[in-house]
A = this chain, B = another copy of it.
Amino acid sequence: MNRIYFLLLLVAPTFVSAQSSDELAIRKIYDKALSEGQSYQMLDYLCNKVGARLSGSPGAAAAVEYTRHVMEEYGFDSVWLQPVMVPHWVRGQKEIGRIVNSRKMGTVELSVCALGGSVGTGPEGISASVIEVKSFEELAALGTKNVQGRFVFFNRPMDPNQLQTFTAYGGAVNQRGSGASEAAKYGAAGVIVRSMGINPESYPHTGGMRYATGTPMIPAMAISTQHADLLSRLIKDDKSLTFYMEMHCQILEDAPSFNVIGEIRGSEYKNEIIVVGGHLDSWDLGQGAHDDGAGCVQSIEVLRIFKAMGYKPKRTIRAVMFMNEENGLRGGQKYADLAKQNKETHLAAIESDRGGFTPRGFTIGAPEGQPEKRSKIQSWKPLLEPYGLSDLSSPGGGADIGPLAPQGVTLIGYLPDSQRYFSYHHTSEDTFDKVDKRELELGSASMAALVYLIDQHGLK
């Protein structure tokens, strides 16, 4: 290596010196993250002291205060809150999903939870028979005469053969998001949705669902993958099987909350902003460790690393903790609205919302008609690949930064390995102990490296 470096110095001094300073800066970023990183201890606090933080909950308010406090302690140039009204849904007491009269097994308590945004059943619950479907097409073919007054059980699994688990998720999640309103068209009493997990699991996955306007709002419940398989077997044996559903969830009035923002101002182009962010809210069942505490602490860590290594960015770098990704996206929308209103120029926004796993690359969503911005980022592959960031080929950014798209912002998603994500996503298992310290730190460093390159070289 040294010999080659020496030879290059002789033939192309300018190129090598530029290249080399990037290499050195990136190496320094990784050293800071791996030797003196603070993302893991921030995440420990966010998970074990704050815990779950669904929009409108006391946990969400505590998370706002904690992240504001941390960024102030680190001495970022400015730290502020952006008020935003958010949906306020509460789960209430533990749900019941019960097979009442199975011929083989008698009464069976199932592992279930309400889907986020669902109405409750009322305290008396609902008893009805169950009809299983794998798709909305199958549901439509069955029609009102088969569905009326029954529970519709959506049981299409995530495809385990998909290498990218997010692709498998994309192939199944419409059952969770829209199943209730689809079933309500045919008079269903409620829906039971197979959890968005790939493996056989004992615990259910919650997650957002939406009611379409003009259809009745019927209760929507998730069931663990293991119990989805059990329920499927039992109703095959026994068509008259009765299911009892009881959920106490409620949709309350919108509540006040905040995006939390920290900023280091640029020395040359302070009006060009680069955002790095995650979402601060989480579902209520676990601690929101991978989803998306990881993305929040990694984003703060990017700015902290820059300060720790004495790097003065040319452009303005912002860490944004978006509120309400899980059930409304109000924070992301508010951030984009205010950026437009304040005539801010955002060069790029990077979101980390695929968990704190080992790095694979970035997804890149270049603004319409500007593919050269994607090419520019891809041209840095030789600098990023030594750190495991070899996949720069996929499109896409992130949910919270999506509303910035109409402003011509280059949107980027941090892309970690996806294999373990859906073992934890939206469940009681999404806890701090599931996060590996080094994997989390490598994510912070990966994002910092890319922010550094964009800051140094722009996207033109």
Q: Least Cβ distance of A400 to chain B in Å?
A: 26
In the bound complex, CA of A206 to CA of B343 (Å): 60
Q: Is A442 an interface residue (CB 8 A)?
A: yes
C-beta contact mask, A161-188 vs B, less than 8 Å → 1, else 0?
1010100000000000000000000000
Residues of B within 8 A of A199 (CB): 437-438
Residues of B within 8 A of A437 (CB): 199
Given B198, B436, B439, which contacts A438 in the complex, CB threshold below 8 Å?
Answer: B198
Q: Which of A137-145, A266-274, A384-392 participates in binding chain B?
A: A384-392
Q: Is A358 an interface residue (CB 8 A)?
A: yes
Q: Is A417 an interface residue (CB 8 A)?
A: yes
Q: Least Cβ distance of A15 to chain B in Å?
A: 24
Residues of B within 8 A of A439 (CB): 419-420
Q: Least Cβ distance of A215 to chain B in Å?
A: 35
Q: Is A22 an interface residue (CB 8 A)?
A: no
Q: Is A25 an interface residue (CB 8 A)?
A: no
In the bound complex, CA of A35 to CA of B158 (Å): 11
Contact B420 A438 (CB under 8 A): yes
Contact B163 A387 (CB under 8 A): yes
Contact A417 B420 (CB under 8 A): no
A390 nearest CB neighbor, chain B only? B390
In the bound complex, CA of A35 to CA of B200 (Å): 11
Q: Least Cβ distance of A438 to chain B in Å?
A: 5
Using C-beta atoms within 8 Å of the partner chain, give the interface range for chain A.
20 to 34
Residues of B within 8 A of A161 (CB): 30-31, 34-35
C-beta contact mask, A408-435 vs B, less than 8 Å → 1, else 0?
0000000001011001000000000000
A interface with B by C-beta (< 8 Å): 30-31, 34-35, 160-161, 163, 165, 198-199, 358, 386-388, 390, 417, 419-420, 423, 436-439, 442
Contact A163 B30 (CB under 8 A): yes
Residues of B within 8 A of A358 (CB): 358, 417, 419
Residues of B within 8 A of A387 (CB): 163
What copy number does this chain have within its complex? 2
In the bound complex, CA of A358 to CA of B388 (Å): 13
Contact B417 A436 (CB under 8 A): no
In the bound complex, CA of A423 to CA of B419 (Å): 19
Residues of B within 8 A of A31 (CB): 161
- Please name 19 pairs of A and B residues whose Cβ atoms are closer than 8 Å in the assembled complex, sorted by A: A30-B163, A31-B161, A34-B160, A34-B161, A163-B387, A163-B388, A165-B438, A199-B437, A199-B438, A358-B358, A358-B417, A358-B419, A388-B417, A419-B436, A419-B438, A419-B442, A420-B436, A420-B438, A423-B436
In the bound complex, CA of A423 to CA of B40 (Å): 15
In the bound complex, CA of A160 to CA of B35 (Å): 6
In the bound complex, CA of A387 to CA of B161 (Å): 11
Q: A34-B161, A420-B439 are in contact. List 12 more A-B contacts (CB 8 A).
A: A34-B160, A35-B160, A35-B161, A160-B438, A165-B438, A198-B438, A199-B437, A358-B417, A388-B417, A417-B417, A419-B439, A420-B436
Q: Least Cβ distance of A156 to chain B in Å?
A: 15
The listed residue with most B CB atoms (<10 A of its CB), out of A31, A35, A358, A386, is A358
In the bound complex, CA of A439 to CA of B419 (Å): 6
Q: Least Cβ distance of A99 to chain B in Å?
A: 27
In the bound complex, CA of A198 to CA of B34 (Å): 10
Residues of B within 8 A of A165 (CB): 438
In the bound complex, CA of A417 to CA of B387 (Å): 12
Q: Least Cβ distance of A46 to chain B in Å?
A: 19
The listed residue with most B CB atoms (<10 A of its CB), out of A31, A198, A388, is A388
A201 nearest CB neighbor, chain B only? B437
The listed residue with most B CB atoms (<10 A of its CB), out of A387, A437, A439, A442, is A437
A162 nearest CB neighbor, chain B only? B34
Q: Least Cβ distance of A384 to chain B in Å?
A: 12
Q: Least Cβ distance of A447 to chain B in Å?
A: 16
